[in-house]
Amino acid sequence: MKKALVLFSIGLAMTGLSCHASAQQQIRFGTDATFPPFEFKAADGSLQGFDIDLGNAICAQLRAKCIWVENGFDGLIPALQARKFDAIISSLSITDERKKAINFSDKLFNTPAYLVASKDSGLKPLAESLQGKRVGVQQGSVFEAYAKKHWQSQGVELVSYPAAEAVYADLVVGRLDATLDDATVVTTALLDKPQGKHFSLIEPQVKDDAIFGPGTGIGIAKQNSELLEQLNGAIKAIRKDGTYDRLAKKYFNFNVYGE
């Protein structure tokens, strides 16, 4: 009887090990689905976009299950630190300031920043040109950081919004004179639509390497070094096997990765 109990116990232990070994890894990605073509909601409510496709490809490479958790952009890093999800994929620029709070994966992509204003406004992305004007930016974004650093103290009225759609809506109806945004996002979300026909990207490109950094990456909690290593390995793999380029061609006709 004692031998039978021992064998039964061993069997249970082996079953437990087998179940544990076959359990699929889950990766919970936090995102703010308001940045087409990088992350947005389709008519059926599903999450779509280049970032979403990249995240799903990374999970497939790691044989993990992707779980997407929606969160306001300004609260993504605090939510990551509170362990509401494991990583952030949401057009999150790699900056020195953010590196103080979280780690970043290798670069995912890089697109330029531009001032957007009415075609006949005569405005330029310079503090002296924007003095007395109202410039809308998304809260917590690198665009807000740039405008605060270079323009706000020079007489430019900075208006921060929790979501990019609200910025575009106020720009269209004249409550704002301009916005600073990602060129690809604002082109897709506003300039290519009928309501955006009177607006354009204003040259020159807005640059500040200290603020905009080398591009966007996946945000990971400081203590999660194992996940960081896994994600970087998967990014390298999908770059090497052509998956990245295939996905990029769905959304862009230019090199979104940059060099």
Residues 118 and 207 in one domain: yes
Inside any domain, residue 142: yes
Residues 122 and 196 in one domain: yes
Inside any domain, residue 15: no
Q: pLDDT tens, 90-131?
A: 999 999 999 999 999 999 999 899 999 999 999 999 999 999
Inside any domain, residue 133: yes
How many angstroms separate the CA atoms of 9 and 155, rounded?
Answer: 75
Residues 140 and 196 in one domain: yes
How many angstroms separate the CA atoms of 94 and 99, rounded?
Answer: 7
How many angstroms separate the CA atoms of 136 and 27, rounded?
Answer: 34
Assess contact for 121 and 186: CB atoms under 8 A.
no
pLDDT at 23: 64
Residues 229 and 148 in one domain: no
Residues 160 and 82 in one domain: no
Q: pLDDT tens, 171-227?
A: 999 999 999 999 999 999 999 999 999 999 999 999 999 999 999 999 999 999 999
Q: Is the pLDDT of residue 7 over 70?
A: no
Residues 220 and 106 in one domain: yes
What is the mean pLDDT of the segment spanning 38-65? Answer: 97
CATH number of the domain bearing residue 89: 3.40.190.10
Residues 100 and 218 in one domain: yes
Quote the Cα angle for 223-220-111, to 5°.
155
Q: pLDDT tens, 63-85?
A: 999 999 999 999 999 999 999 99
Q: If we measure between CA atoms, which residue out of 110, 111, 60, 92 comes closest to residue 241?
A: 60
What is the mean pLDDT of the segment spanning 6-22? Answer: 39
How many angstroms separate the CA atoms of 52 and 68, rounded?
Answer: 9
What is the mean pLDDT of the segment spanning 237-246? Answer: 98
Residue type (1 letter), 253: N
Q: Is the pLDDT of residue 13 over 70?
A: no
Domain count, the chain: 2
Kindly write down the DSSP assignment for every residue of 72-102, as one continuous string. Answer: -GGGHHHHHHTTSSSEE-SS-B--HHHHTT-
Residues 162 and 223 in one domain: no
Inside any domain, residue 21: no
Distance from the Cα of residue 145 to its chain's centroid: 16
Inside any domain, residue 14: no
Residues 202 and 230 in one domain: no
Residues 49 and 132 in one domain: no
Helix axes 243-251, 50-62, angle to 10 degrees: 160
pLDDT at 245: 97
Assess contact for 127 and 150: CB atoms under 8 A.
yes
Residues 124 and 64 in one domain: no
Parent domain of 134: 113-211
43-48 contacts at long range (C-beta below 8 A, 24 or more positions apart):
none
Residues 127 and 206 in one domain: yes
Inside any domain, residue 230: yes
Inside any domain, residue 225: yes
Inside any domain, residue 20: no
Residues of the chain with pLDDT > 90, as a percent, come to 88
How many angstroms separate the CA atoms of 149 and 21, rounded?
Answer: 51
User: Which carries the bigger pLDDT value, residue 253 or residue 34?
Assistant: 34
pLDDT at 17: 36
Tokens of 186: 């604002």
Helices (H) and strands (E) counted in the chain, each on its own, are 11, 12
Dihedral over Cα of 141, 245, 70, 27: its sign: negative
User: Which three-class secondary structure state does DSSP give residue 157?
Assistant: strand
Tokens of 57: 């490809």
Helix axes 225-240, 243-251, angle to 10 degrees: 80
- pLDDT band with cut points at 50, 70 and 90 for residue 8: very low
Q: Is the pLDDT of residue 19 over 80?
A: no
Q: Is the pLDDT of residue 22 over 70?
A: no
Peptide bond just before 37 cis, omega within 30 deg:
yes
What does pTM read for this prediction? 0.83
